[in-house]
Every structure is written in C-alpha cells, then in structure tokens.
Amino acid sequence: MLKAVTSSRCLRALALTAAAWLAVGPARADSFLSWYAKADKAALRKDDDAALQAWSNAIHLWIRSDGKAKKARALSARAALYERRGDWPAALDDLSAALPLAAKDAALYYRRGHLRLERGLVADSIGDFYKAILLKRNYAEAFFDRGRAYESQGDALFAREDYQSACRLGLKKACGQNSTAKPPETKKAAPAKPAAAAAPKPPPAVPKAASATAPAATVDMRACIRRLSACADNGGSYGACVARAALCEADPKRGCCPKKCADLFQKLADAKSEASAFREAFTPKNACAGN
C-alpha cells in the first residue's frame, strides 16, 4: 500500500515537471531573440507584413538581458517599415524610443530629423541635424538637410554655410545649392561724384579719445555669426561657442558679438534647444545687434 502511494506521488511529480517544462518551452521559443531572427528572415524575403509583425512581437517580448542595442535596432527597423507605409507618426515614435537606447547613433538622429523636415516640423529637425553632426563631423547629408531646413525658414546665411559644408564633404547635390541660398543683399552706396572743388574739411565733432571708446561702430553681425558657426562646425556646442565669443562691449573687433545677443541666446536656450536659440538670437537684423 505504501509503495503504491509513493509511486503515485512520483508519477504526479513527474507530470508536474513535464507540464512545467512544456510551459517553459514555448516561452523560450516565443522570446525576443526568436522573433528578432524571424524578422530578419522576413526582411531578407522582402515580406514587409511578416517583418512588421515579427519586429512588433520582438519589441513586446524584450527584456533588459536581451540588450539595448538589439532593441534599438528592432525599433529602427520597424520605423523604416512604418515610414514605407506612410505611417509617419508611428515611425517617429519608434525612432524617438530608439534614441535613448542608442544615444550615440548619428544615423538615428539624422533619420528622425529628415522625417521631421519632410513633415514640416522644421525647428525640431534642426535640433536633430545638429546632434547628428556633433556625433559625426563629416555627415554631409545632415549638413545638407539642415541647410534645407534653414532655407525653408528664411535663414539664407545659415543655409548657405551648411550647403557649402556638405559640398566640401563631397555631396554633389549640395554644391548646386550654394547659389540658391545667398545672404540678404545690402544696398551699396553709390560712388561719390567728383566735386569741382574740394571743400575744406570741418573739424572732428568728437575727440579722438572719446570715439575710441564707442564699440558700436565695430559690430558686424554677419562676421559674428560666421565665427560662431565655424566654432560649431568644428565640434563645439552652440552654448560653448557663444560663451567663448568675444563681446563687442569688452573687445570691439571684427567678428565680435553684442552682449545683448549672447544674453538673449542664454535666455532662449533655457526654454528650447541650443540650435533653435542660436537661430533666433543670432540673425543679421536682430534688434539685440542694435540694427
């Protein structure tokens, strides 16, 4: 009788173990990695429907031990499929979810910026292109699209400089854009007509010592912008470049920047991206320049 009870208990334990094994088996087969592999195979077959479903299943089943890089790639791949279908809000959501997992991926920032630009989210796209260029200094496509974004906002000077940068990096289509984004033309003063007789020069209205203290005459906003842009193109952030800039009030020389514009940049940068703040504060006709 005791042997029968023991045997029954053993059989029950074996049954429970088998049931547990069967329950775990499908879970392992239905893991992030398994769907990740299925998605890759579907992509090779160019079966977008199957790939989209597989990437979605993989993302749903992802756990931390699967690795951030793989989840970022899954989100990036699904974003491409959404974009191909014209579902740009879903594509943007996936790219935005992927970026915290791959914060040093310049291509992800560029892709989100490009998509934002195509959908009219110009200010946001400029911030993405700015980050892409910081991560990859020779990113010709990012320079080109940032130029397009600036041009669409009427910032001809910034657009022209970005087109030139893209052209220098070998992007041929950017070279043809240089002539379409020129700085605003300024009216040139007509040459003075020769006088019949030179009139005697009046005495100077302001003593030399006083005139030397007036920095306003040395302010050249375009030269200031070019210097700050060159600093940013060489890898500096806009905030760092503005902080290091020579201020006309302290050092009145060519390329100096008005302190009011630097202060305005800092105020704007607290509420938005540095790229947007730079674009708003440093324009040739901004009131902070005294124009």
The tokens for 56 are 């979605």
The pLDDT score that the predictor gives to residue 19 is 46
Region for residue 257 given its phi and psi (left: phi exceeds 0; alpha: psi -120 to 50; beta: otherwise) = beta
**Residue 223 included in any domain:** yes
Tell me which residue range forms the domain holding 251: 216-289
% the chain with pLDDT above 90: 47
For residue 273, tell me if it sits in a domain. yes
Residue 220 pLDDT: 84
Looking at residues 113-132, what average pLDDT do you find? 95
Q: Give Cβ neighbours of residue 51 (< 8 Å, ≥ 6 apart).
A: 39, 42, 43, 77, 81
Residue 265 within a domain: yes
**What is the average pLDDT score of the chain?**
79
pLDDT of residue 132: 96
Report d(CA 277, CA 267) in Å as an integer.
8
pLDDT surpasses 70 at 89:
yes
Residue 274 lies in a domain: yes
| pLDDT value at 279 more than 90 | no
Q: How many domains does the chain divide into?
A: 1
Q: Which residues contact 59 (CB under 8 A, 6 or more apart)?
A: 32, 71, 74, 75, 78
What's the pLDDT at 27? 38
User: What are the tens digits of pLDDT across the range 178-226?
Assistant: 544 444 443 444 444 444 444 455 555 544 444 444 444 467 888 888 8
Q: What is the pLDDT of residues 214-224, one digit of tens each?
A: 444 467 888 88
Buried b (16+ CB within 10 A) or exposed e, 264-291: bbeebbeeebbbbbbbbbbbbebebbee
The pLDDT value recorded for residue 139 is 96
Q: For residue 35, is pLDDT > 70?
A: yes
pLDDT reading at 1 higher than 70: no
HEC letters along 176-242:
CCHHHCCCCCCCCCCCCCCCCCCCCCCCCCCCHHHHCCCHHHHCCHHHHHHHHHHHHHCCCCHHHHH
Whether the per-residue pLDDT at 74 is higher than 50: the answer is: yes
**Percent of the chain topping pLDDT 70:** 71
Q: What is the pLDDT of residue 271?
A: 67
